[in-house]
């Protein structure tokens, strides 16, 4: 084992490896920042060239292309309210309000530091947990996955500050929208109204661009906002890099929150097919419920940035480990990784950790280095990137509108998709005005397909009482407990006040 570590570290310290990791990390950050271009696209673009590189370098580049995209995606989520990747969606809730208050650098500093540490440290945890993983993974079957997915959506709905019923309705609407198109198991075309364009349904990027990015731009223009940040430089206590460092200090100040969120991200990320979408919301929910000031969440609270950003990077190491150790892809991205492994002659599975241990360690340690590199680059770029939030709205709105239209076209290569994004932008504006939860809608959309898949499979295998399994009942109890917790807390507080 020690020899394998030495071999991995020796390889990673070579100029060639460091150079390619740096290039991959920069491309990954740019891919994460630009709406519509995700890690999946950058990896898909690279895969045709994989055989031109030596095996270890090729796989290391793949890891680098994936590692920092979420960190890059947090920057757009914070600065312009567009999640760069769908697992940055929770960061919007407090990241963008922080930018509006003139604390964009602080939010980026906190996000990047939390991401960097959340992505790097669980790798060592991952290696220690390998023997324990298999029973955990095998215990999670279709019924448990169905309950976990529904639980994740309920979590988000409960976070809607004004009304849980509106949050639940939003999540359910998101599920419905995800069902548009051709259903796999029956071949039935649902809600397509005869349109071939709707046959494949909508994409997540389309949703994020319209519901968050465009809706926010419309809202700011209608309110006559002069710029994204409505606080002048003179009104902010700290500016530039000083503010970014404050964000980093915030992570240290909330280190236990960071640790809990990282563990949540890692553990949930291990479960194949669930991934970051649920992890970030569970992390956000626990941050809110354990905070001394839960009422500040959603108004620009740094804890609301630290929690999801720790979780979303931590999940990546868990997902890669599951992919390598068991050959089970945790997501579409990991399925691409499996394809890449096979192309270079490496078969993922339990034998990979015995026959190719130095390679496995190289990739896992590569995640650590790329996360740190990505974090440093984003950290010191923050003061330059936040300049965009002080530019006049005329320039920002027109430029971002063009970028959104281009990204909308790029996602589906169809002009009709731009119409869909505009429609979603208007709908997102209406939802914002009527206090319906857009994050719940997005999560319902992301998880809708999985909800249907696991629910139908569970019914087929175990009947309608599929949820009567022990792990399911525990998960249901946790969900109900989390649902009732704020009401119980309020009741106890009222009782205490009456007694006083």
Partner 1 sequence: MYFLFLMFLLALFIFINSLSFPYRDARLVPVLASTVIMAMMLIEIIRKFRGQVKVLPGEEKAEAGNKDKGEWSKLARLMGWVGGLLVGIYVLGFMFAIPLFLLAYLKSQGRSWLIAVTFSVSITATIYVIFVIAAGIMFPAGLIFA
Chain residues binding partner 1 by CB under 8 A are 34, 37, 41, 45, 162-163, 165-166, 168-169, 172-173, 175-176, 179, 183, 185-186, 188, 190-191, 218, 221-222, 394-395, 398-399, 401-403, 405-406, 409-410, 415, 418-419, 422, 426, 430, 433-435, 448, 451-452, 455-456, 459
Say how many C-beta atoms besides its own lie within 10 A of residue 176's C-beta.
Answer: 15
Locus of tokens 């990791």? 21
Query: Residue 133's closest CA among 321, 365, 352?
Result: 321
Query: Residue 202's closest CA among 370, 420, 461?
Result: 420
Say how many C-beta atoms besides its own lie within 10 A of residue 493's C-beta.
Answer: 10
Provide Rg for the chain, Cα atoms.
22
d(Cα 243, Cα 50) in Å, to the nearest integer? 41
Nearest approach in angstroms of CB 418 to partner 1 is: 6
Q: Helix, strand, or coil here: 435?
A: coil
Q: Based on CB atoms, which residue is closest to partner 1, 107 or 173?
A: 173
d(Cα 102, Cα 232) in Å, to the nearest integer? 7
Q: Based on CB atoms, which residue is closest to partner 1, 45 or 51?
A: 45
- Residue 212 DSSP one-character state: I
Nearest approach in angstroms of CB 198 to partner 1 is: 14
Nearest approach in angstroms of CB 406 to partner 1 is: 6
Q: Based on CB atoms, which residue is closest to partner 1, 464 or 499?
A: 464
d(Cα 77, Cα 86) in Å, to the nearest integer? 10
Q: Based on CB atoms, which residue is closest to partner 1, 399 or 492?
A: 399
Q: Based on CB atoms, which residue is closest to partner 1, 55 or 221?
A: 221
Q: Based on CB atoms, which residue is closest to partner 1, 100 or 356?
A: 100
d(Cα 200, Cα 211) in Å, to the nearest integer? 19
Nearest approach in angstroms of CB 200 to partner 1 is: 16
At 103, list the tokens: 């604390």
Say how many C-beta atoms besides its own lie within 10 A of residue 402's C-beta.
Answer: 10
Locus of tokens 């990047």? 112
Q: Based on CB atoms, which residue is closest to partner 1, 249 or 435?
A: 435
Cβ neighbours for 93, distance < 8 A, ≥ 6 positions apart: 159, 284, 297, 298, 304, 439
d(Cα 388, Cα 288) in Å, to the nearest integer? 29
Query: Residue 35's closest CA among 182, 207, 202?
Result: 207
Q: Based on CB atoms, which residue is closest to partner 1, 256 or 434?
A: 434
Q: Helix, strand, or coil here: 190?
A: strand
d(Cα 301, Cα 96) in Å, to the nearest integer? 10
Q: Based on CB atoms, which residue is closest to partner 1, 191 or 380?
A: 191
d(Cα 498, Cα 500) in Å, to the nearest integer? 5
């Amino acid at each position: 084992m020690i020899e394998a570590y030495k071999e991995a570290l020796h390889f990673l310290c070579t100029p060639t490896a460091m150079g390619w990791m740096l290039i991959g990390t920069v491309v990954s950050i740019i891919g994460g920042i630009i709406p519509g271009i995700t890690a999946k696209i950058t990896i898909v673009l690279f895969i045709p060239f994989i055989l031109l590189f030596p095996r270890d370098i090729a796989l290391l580049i793949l890891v680098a292309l994936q590692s920092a995209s979420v960190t890059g995606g947090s920057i757009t989520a914070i600065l312009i309210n567009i999640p760069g990747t769908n697992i940055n969606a929770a960061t919007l809730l407090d990241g963008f309000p922080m930018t509006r208050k003139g604390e964009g650098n602080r939010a980026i500093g906190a996000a990047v530091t939390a991401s960097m540490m959340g992505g790097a440290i669980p790798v060592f945890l991952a290696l220690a947990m390998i023997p324990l993983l298999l029973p955990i993974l095998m215990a999670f079957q279709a019924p448990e996955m169905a309950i976990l997915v529904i639980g994740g959506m309920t979590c988000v709905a409960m976070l809607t500050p004004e009304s849980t019923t509106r949050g639940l309705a939003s999540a359910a609407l998101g599920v419905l929208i995800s069902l548009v198109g051709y259903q796999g198991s029956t071949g039935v075309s649902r809600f397509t109204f005869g349109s071939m364009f709707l046959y494949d349904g909508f994409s997540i990027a389309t949703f994020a661009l319209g519901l968050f990015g465009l809706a926010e731009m419309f809202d700011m223009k209608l309110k006559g906002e002069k710029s994204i940040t409505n606080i002048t430089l003179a009104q902010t206590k700290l500016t530039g890099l000083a503010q970014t460092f404050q964000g980093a200090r915030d992570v240290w100040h909330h280190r236990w929150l960071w640790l809990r969120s990282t563990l949540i991200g890692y553990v949930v990320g291990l479960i194949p097919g669930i991934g970051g979408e649920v992890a970030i919301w569970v992390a956000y929910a626990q941050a809110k419920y354990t905070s001394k000031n839960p009422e500040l969440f959603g108004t620009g609270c740094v804890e609301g940035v630290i929690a999801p950003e720790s979780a979303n990077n931590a999940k990546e190491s868990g997902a890669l480990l599951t992919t390598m150790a068991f050959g089970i892809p945790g997501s579409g991205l990991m399925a691409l990784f499996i394809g890449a492994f096979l192309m270079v002659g490496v078969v993922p599975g339990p034998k990979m950790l015995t026959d190719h241990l130095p390679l496995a360690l190289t990739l896992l340690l590569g995640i650590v280095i790329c996360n740190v590199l990505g974090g440093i680059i984003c950290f010191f770029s923050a003061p330059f990137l936040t300049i965009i939030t002080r530019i006049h709205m005329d320039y920002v709105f027109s430029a971002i509108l063009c970028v959104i239209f281009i990204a909308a076209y790029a996602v589906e290569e169809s002009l009709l998709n731009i119409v869909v994004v505009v429609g979603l932008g208007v709908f997102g504006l209406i939802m914002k005005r009527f206090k319906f939860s857009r994050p719940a809608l997005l999560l319902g959309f992301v998880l809708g397909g999985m909800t249907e898949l696991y629910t139908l499979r569970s019914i087929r295998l175990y009947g309608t009482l599929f949820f009567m399994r022990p792990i399911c009942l525990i998960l249901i109890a946790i969900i109900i407990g989390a649902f009732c917790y704020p009401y119980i807390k309020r009741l106890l507080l009222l009782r205490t006040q009456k007694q006083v």
